[in-house]
Structure 1
Amino acid sequence: MTDGKSSDSSQELDPGATKAVPMSVLRRAIGAAAMGNAVEWFDYGAYAYLTTHIAKSLFPSGSDAVFFTLVGFAISFLIRPIGGLFWGPLGDRIGRKRVLAMTIILMASSTVLVGCIPSYASIGIWAPVILYLLRIIQGFSAGGEYGGAATFMAEYAPDKRRGFFGSFLEVGTLTGFVGANAIALLLVSVLSDGQMASWGWRVEFFVAAPLGLIGMYLRNKMEDTPVFQELEAKQEEEKEDPVGVYKDLVTTYRRPILTLFGLVIALNVVDYTFLTFTPTYLQGSLKMSENDALLVPLFGQIVMACLLPFFGRLSDKIGRRPMWLFSCAALFVFVVPLYMLIGTGLTGAIIGFALVGILFAPQLATISATFPAMFPTIVRFAGVAIGYNVATSAFGGTAPSVTDWLITKTGSDLMPAYYMMGACLLGLVGAYFLIETKGESLRGTQIPGTEEAHDEQKELAKQAAGVD
């Protein structure tokens, strides 16, 4: 196996490249994957941006209401590893498409039901109990959604343009965030506080219904990925049982799992502290109005969404590893000064948020090109789903409540930046050991980018040419 700085010799191995698909099919695959991701993150954005209103409606009044609402945000992440353990091996056995069709329905329906929960004044303690139960269902479905969508996207994309096409999965993520943000901003602009607390916040969650139906339709119209279909044809009778998959992930694939942990911790601490916690942070710590607090991330997210394809294309040229090393290092150096700028007022907050977003974008743009390529096809869905969700559960979904607690305990408004710095150190370690996979084929049974994978690609090319 190669070291973390794998060679580029694979760039000459085009004969083993993943079979190209028609551009029309590729566009539909991108739309199907990105739409599901948009639905998932629309929910998380809606919950984060309307935290204070959910707290007023579904929890008893008091200073801890917002904190317990953020606990509801974290709960869905704590359950995600269980979803990953269930959906990941299933996706490697029955296909990516079938699992993704099921997860989007679970996510969309539970999101709609959140908007139907009676208020605390009506049903008392059952209001937060039902909220937490629905968040558990959302976390369970999300445990298969993200890893599956990234795998689906990566296996459909051409090997040498995986970064560019894969970046559109995260365009879907930010589209979900921007949509949730824009609707929340519209609602708080036209409705009174009383209207928002009683029924206004619910409107946003109902929007998930049509989004989910569109996403399910797009996914049902797609065939499974060419890479999975090739493996399925070869191993129709040899598919590994889930217990065997779990054993392989902690033995044979221990290194990519640990590397993935480091990258995901950096990614999601920044993601959830920066993208989802910002409106609550701006209102609570910096005493900004709700309208301004929602306006700040809206502009920055639009900037990021426009830049993601550029960074994805760049990663196809220079590699994924340099992108991650740069992003983690730049955030470590600049995130504290930028948070100080955010604290200077509305203009400073808009500029500071956008600059943090630009430094973060190289990570976000390359997720679906980087993570699925760390595992071979036989355990790819499971490896990404389980590894991603374990790290996300521990460090991602808990980030808003942890940073809120740290601010309360220390009195420092810079705690979100310090927390991101610590996560980015772990990200740098993960990026150092990351095997470079730009241009690599995802076919075969070996970890892409390794010497074993290169040898296997040569054998696949010989078989395709009919050479003994």
Structure 2
Amino acid sequence: MKNETSPVAATIGKNRSGSNGGSASLPDTEATPNTPTSIPAVSKDTRRRVITASFIGNFVEWFDYAVYGYLAGTISTVFFPSSDRQTALLATFGVFAVSFFVRPLGGFIWGHIGDRLGRKQALSLSIVLMSVATFCIALIPGYGTIGVMAPVLLLLVRVVQGFSASGEYAGASAFLVEYAPAHRRGLYAAVVPASTAAGLLLGSLLAALLSSVLTAEQLNEWGWRLPFLLAAPMGLIGRYIRTKLEDTPAFRELAAKETTVKAPAFAMFRTYRRQLVIATGAVLLNAVGFYVILSYMPTYLSEELHFGAAESFLATTIALVSYIGFIFLTGIASDTFGRKRMLLTASILFIALTVPAFMLLDTGNFMVIVLVQIVLGGMLTLNDGTLPSFLAELFPTAVRYSGFAVSFNLSNALFGGTAPFMATLLIGLTHNQLAPGWYLVAASVVSLIAVLFAVETSKKPLQQD
């Protein structure tokens, strides 16, 4: 790769004695390989602060992003004509999907910033954009007040949200993997999907609370705006924490050697096309499964199976609590048994069990629905808890952010963001309530094939160039 150094990279190379300085005597401390301008060792305390910053920042972004999905039924009433309920719901999920189409572009831009200027720089900017955009949703008047401008403004703000989110997951994962001890990269990276699920959990709790204590009229008039208003203070807290950290040892070593690349995305396409294809395919199960099981499910239960709104949210909330615990177990398991084995197991389980699980949802029994969601969520964690470390390990440091961001966001744009829309559309076209389950099975088959062509990455050092 060409020796190209950015101004920020040069600054990092000159200022190496910041808050990351730790004691080499700590059992969990690892020194970065010696370079002409040596990077300090990483202490346990530094790693704890990195985990906290990554968790809180990702939590804030995905709470902001998920609230829209949980309040989709109410948002469809507020922002679209209510003459046809399914059409309004499709329009709401259409806006949800369109915001994903900007994510591949965002993946290139955030990947460039993260690989060229540093992971910290990209993550600090993305959380500000997300928080401002989410706060603005709370301020948009409804369709009854400004007519067609209401969904237009909603769409514009959602596009900004999508652009912001495209840099968050990949950046936080790369940040944690590059700070983690070599034998714990899977566990450290599992913090990212765990924080994502925690953001969803808070969104689900707030949606359940609002649905329980407010009348339908109060929820439609002003209640739905409350979760979006939380975005501003939460975003400021997340940004403050992130600005107090130094960039990762891997990136600082790259900058010190003056081997950052001027155009990371072009370098990625030129040299790592095979990894990019494998990564994009491996993400497909995660993309569809995440948004069907964790975001769309309350709407599916209430709108398609006519379950109570409060009970639908409660079932999803219980499932999310178990999901967070499973995520960390999966991270540990992936460090022990390998990334490839975990990802293959997830795909096989979804192919075999998804449709029977959706059949059980139609029983109308609350305990059965909760158990089914816990099982589906546990299956998804085998993929979701492994994927961040797997994707980060596929690419070398110089293009890691770009490779992760482009593959992750491309798959999510085409199949993740469209999953609620496709699920609703397929049910309408086929009159079959199992259609979302079959859609998830198809995604699992593609992921299975992609992972079969991957090599195991967990037992190897991170690629440097």
| TM-score using structure 1 length | 0.89
SS of residue in 1 equivalent to 2:271: coil
User: Which range moves more in the overlay, 338-347 or 101-110?
Assistant: 338-347
Contact persistence 1:20–1:158 (CA under 8 A): no
Matches within 5 A, 1:263-302: 263-302=282-321
Counterpart selection for 1:332 from 351, 363, 366: 351
Separation in structure 2 between the aligned mates of residue 218 and residue 81 of structure 1, nearest angstrom = 27
What does residue 366 of structure 1 align with? 386
Q: Does 1:31 align with 2:52?
A: yes
What does residue 228 of structure 1 align with? 251
Separation in structure 2 between the aligned mates of residue 206 and residue 374 of structure 1, nearest angstrom = 38
Separation in structure 1 between the aligned mates of residue 463 and residue 357 of structure 2, nearest angstrom = 42
What does residue 337 of structure 2 align with? 318
Q: Does 1:214 align with 2:237?
A: yes
User: Which range moves more in the overlay, 262-271 or 247-256?
Assistant: 247-256
What is the percentage of aligned positions where both structures have the same residue? 38
Contact persistence 1:227–1:443 (CA under 8 A): no
What does residue 453 of structure 2 align with? 433
Separation in structure 2 between the aligned mates of residue 33 and residue 162 of structure 1, nearest angstrom = 14
What does residue 396 of structure 1 align with? 416
What does residue 89 of structure 2 align with? 66
Counterpart selection for 1:417 from 433, 437, 441: 437
Contact persistence 2:118–2:251 (CA under 8 A): yes
Contact persistence 2:118–2:247 (CA under 8 A): yes
Deviation at 1:292?
A: 1.1
Counterpart selection for 2:278 from 259, 270, 273: 259
Matches within 5 A, 1:235-250: 235=258, 238-242=259-263, 245-250=264-269
Counterpart selection for 2:200 from 177, 180, 186: 177
Q: Does 1:44 align with 2:58?
A: no
What does residue 183 of structure 2 align with? 160
Deviation at 1:381?
A: 0.6
What does residue 384 of structure 1 align with? 404
Separation in structure 1 between the aligned mates of residue 180 and residue 33 of structure 2, nearest angstrom = 11
What does residue 114 of structure 1 align with? 137
Which residue identity does 2:327 align to in structure 1? L
Contact persistence 1:336–1:414 (CA under 8 A): yes
Which residue identity does 1:70 align to in structure 2? F
RMSD (CA atoms): 1.6
Separation in structure 2 between the aligned mates of residue 305 and residue 390 of structure 1, nearest angstrom = 25
Separation in structure 2 between the aligned mates of residue 42 and residue 129 of structure 1, nearest angstrom = 23
Separation in structure 1 between the aligned mates of residue 345 and residue 456 of structure 2, nearest angstrom = 15
What does residue 309 of structure 1 align with? 328
Separation in structure 1 between the aligned mates of residue 77 and residue 313 of structure 2, nearest angstrom = 18
Deviation at 1:391?
A: 1.2
Separation in structure 1 between the aligned mates of residue 368 and residue 360 of structure 2, nearest angstrom = 5
What does residue 92 of structure 1 align with? 115
Deviation at 1:89?
A: 1.2
Counterpart selection for 2:42 from 11, 18, 21: 21
CA offset digits 1:211-243 (Å, max 9, x no partner):
2111101100110000000000001xx53223x
Separation in structure 2 between the aligned mates of residue 38 and residue 344 of structure 1, nearest angstrom = 33
Separation in structure 2 between the aligned mates of residue 252 and residue 444 of structure 1, nearest angstrom = 14
**May I ask how many residue pairs the two structures share in their alignment?**
428
Which residue identity does 1:127 align to in structure 2? A
What does residue 104 of structure 2 align with? 81
Greater relative contact order (CA < 8 Å, ≥ 6 in sequence): 1
Which residue identity does 2:83 align to in structure 1? G
Separation in structure 2 between the aligned mates of residue 25 and residue 66 of structure 1, nearest angstrom = 46
Contact persistence 1:17–1:159 (CA under 8 A): no
Contact persistence 1:120–1:126 (CA under 8 A): yes
The unaligned stretches of length 5 or more in structure 2 are 1-29, 35-39
Separation in structure 1 between the aligned mates of residue 58 and residue 279 of structure 2, nearest angstrom = 20
The unaligned stretches of length 5 or more in structure 1 are 1-13, 446-468
SS of residue in 2 equivalent to 1:61: coil
Counterpart selection for 1:353 from 346, 362, 373: 373
| TM-score using structure 2 length | 0.89
What does residue 375 of structure 1 align with? 395
Contact persistence 1:335–1:421 (CA under 8 A): yes
What does residue 5 of structure 2 align with? none
- 4+ residue segments displaced more than 4 Å: 14-20
Contact persistence 1:170–1:365 (CA under 8 A): yes
Which residue identity does 1:321 align to in structure 2? K
CA offset digits 1:52-108 (Å, max 9, x no partner):
111111112222111111111112211101111111011111100011000000001
Separation in structure 1 between the aligned mates of residue 62 and residue 261 of structure 2, nearest angstrom = 32
Contact persistence 2:96–2:158 (CA under 8 A): yes
Separation in structure 1 between the aligned mates of residue 339 and residue 463 of structure 2, nearest angstrom = 19
SS of residue in 1 equivalent to 2:82: coil
Contact persistence 1:34–1:170 (CA under 8 A): no
User: Which range moves more in the overlay, 436-445 or 195-204?
Assistant: 436-445
Which residue identity does 2:412 align to in structure 1? T
Deviation at 1:443?
A: 4.8
Deviation at 1:119?
A: 1.3
CA offset digits 1:272-311 (Å, max 9, x no partner):
1111110111111101110111111111110010121111
Separation in structure 2 between the aligned mates of residue 340 and residue 70 of structure 1, nearest angstrom = 24
Separation in structure 1 between the aligned mates of residue 397 and residue 289 of structure 2, nearest angstrom = 29
SS of residue in 1 equivalent to 2:222: helix
Deviation at 1:440?
A: 2.4
